Amino acid sequence: MTIHRTPQLAAIAATVAALFAGAAQAASATLEGWALMPANTFSEGPTSGQFANGAGGNPLPLVNKQPVQGFSGVLAGPTAGSYLFTTDNGFGNKANSGDTLLRMYGVTPDFKTATGGTGTVSAANFSTGAAMGGFTAGSYITLSDPNHLLSLKVQADYTRYYNNAANPLVDSSIRSGRLLTGADLDIESVRKDKNGNLWFGDEFGPYLVKTSASGEVLRREIGMKGVLSPSNEAVQNGSVLSTIANSGGFEGMAINPNGDRLYTLLEGTVSGDPAKTLRINAFNVDTEAYTGEQWRYKLEGAGTAIGDMTAINDHEFLIIERNGGTATSGTPFKKIYKVDLNKVDGSGNLVKTEVVDLMNIADPNDLNGDGSTAFTFPFVTIENVLLLDANTLLVVNDNNYPGVGGRNLGSDNTEFLKIHLATPVPEPSSYALLLGGMGLLGIVARRRRRG
């Protein structure tokens, strides 16, 4: 349906939108479902953690195992209630994650709700969503570059990890399949395009990496002009200087409903940009190039980073903003905001509307069993948000395995939240439709009175 707006209607719609925004900010969200995946959840695979340190009573390495943790991006799964999560680089940086595979896992949480549910999380077949007994073959895909399309030197090209004679041999499965690891890329976001291909946002370049639905790289990585991390190979070999900090790359990335336009959100401020502003850039999937369109997202005073970005429609997005505070250290700031690419303030930054304060969620049924009817989500990194419907969000933390301190000094678990919004996040056209409907009702009422 095409909506024709008069200036008066547009003004009224803007007023109603402001009222809705204010109500959304004031209203508290409610925890509708909760589930937990234990920190020590593993999948089959080569030994991992040989270059990292254990924590929380969980020693490393993990012999013949990979951690099913560090969830940093989420897509809807093949069946209702199933989801596909991408893991990040592994144990935190290039130097300690060369034996950690870059994977996506099929997951099904059985949410504990007011009417039932176990609050547990199980493996799901990646392609069908069918229940599986564990995170074994079929529940995941592993990123690979069998055709040598990336320009990067990867662990699979070496005989020993990091090309160091003192290190263990690179696992034969990594070498034979040219599987990608956390020393090659730090994938922090993922989207599926209209053709069924996957696009990953990396922080080491930062790069965009295109793969097939099975995780096989389809082309050379795509950099962003003038944006380089200290982990970028060109920076490390002295060719250029970095312009963003480490972990400042594509933490957030959304895709429009048509699946032909990506929106990349940097986590760090580019050198020369206004303080605490982050760039959003549009990328054309068909031409595989940036369009030149750019916006600025400004962090709050208490905010230090973003965690994820997902589309509501073709111009409205949800963004997780946070700081490093937890229940055991500092003062946690964890919120979700809505932005509209068509609305900027006098400084040229996107106008933000608070949608959820993740440190202040109503939990009338005490779904997580902590004895409180107020739920908080104080983890260091919260990197997954998915709009399930106009009133419901899925939110999941990245637990940085075997990192500690989110809720206590043990290794953090991965918690899955289903959050009910007191006020929905409709498309702007919904206001016009609503007002149009109200206008028609008024006309009908007047005609009836006259009759």
Q: Domain boundaries in the chain?
A: 28-422
Is the predicted pLDDT of residue 443 greater than 60, yes or no?
Answer: no
| Structure confidence at residue 15 as a pLDDT band (50, 70, 90) | very low
Q: Over the stretch 377-421, which tens digit does the pLDDT of each residue have?
A: 999 999 999 999 999 999 999 999 999 999 999 999 999 999 999
Is the predicted pLDDT of residue 445 greater than 50, yes or no?
Answer: no
pLDDT value of position 440: 39
Is the predicted pLDDT of residue 271 greater than 90, yes or no?
Answer: yes
What is the average pLDDT score of the chain?
90
Is the predicted pLDDT of residue 449 greater than 80, yes or no?
Answer: no
Is the predicted pLDDT of residue 223 greater than 80, yes or no?
Answer: yes
* CATH 2.115.10 correct for 28-422: yes
pLDDT value of position 448: 39
Q: What is the mean pLDDT of residues 252-279?
A: 98
Is the predicted pLDDT of residue 230 greater than 70, yes or no?
Answer: yes
288: left (phi over 0), alpha (psi -120 to 50) or beta: left
Q: What is the mean pLDDT of residues 96-122?
A: 98
Q: What is the mean pLDDT of residues 19-26?
A: 39
| Structure confidence at residue 426 as a pLDDT band (50, 70, 90) | low
Q: Over the stretch 140-163, which tens digit does the pLDDT of each residue have?
A: 999 999 999 999 999 999 999 999
Name the nearest CA neighbour of 99 among 168, 202, 146, 164: 168
Q: What is the mean pLDDT of residues 12-37?
A: 60
Is the predicted pLDDT of residue 442 greater than 70, yes or no?
Answer: no
| Structure confidence at residue 136 as a pLDDT band (50, 70, 90) | very high
Dist. CA 228–CA 223, nearest whole Å: 8
Q: What is the mean pLDDT of residues 27-46?
A: 94
Is the predicted pLDDT of residue 436 greater than 90, yes or no?
Answer: no
pLDDT value of position 28: 72
More confident residue, 444 or 228: 228
More confident residue, 6 or 107: 107
| Structure confidence at residue 310 as a pLDDT band (50, 70, 90) | very high
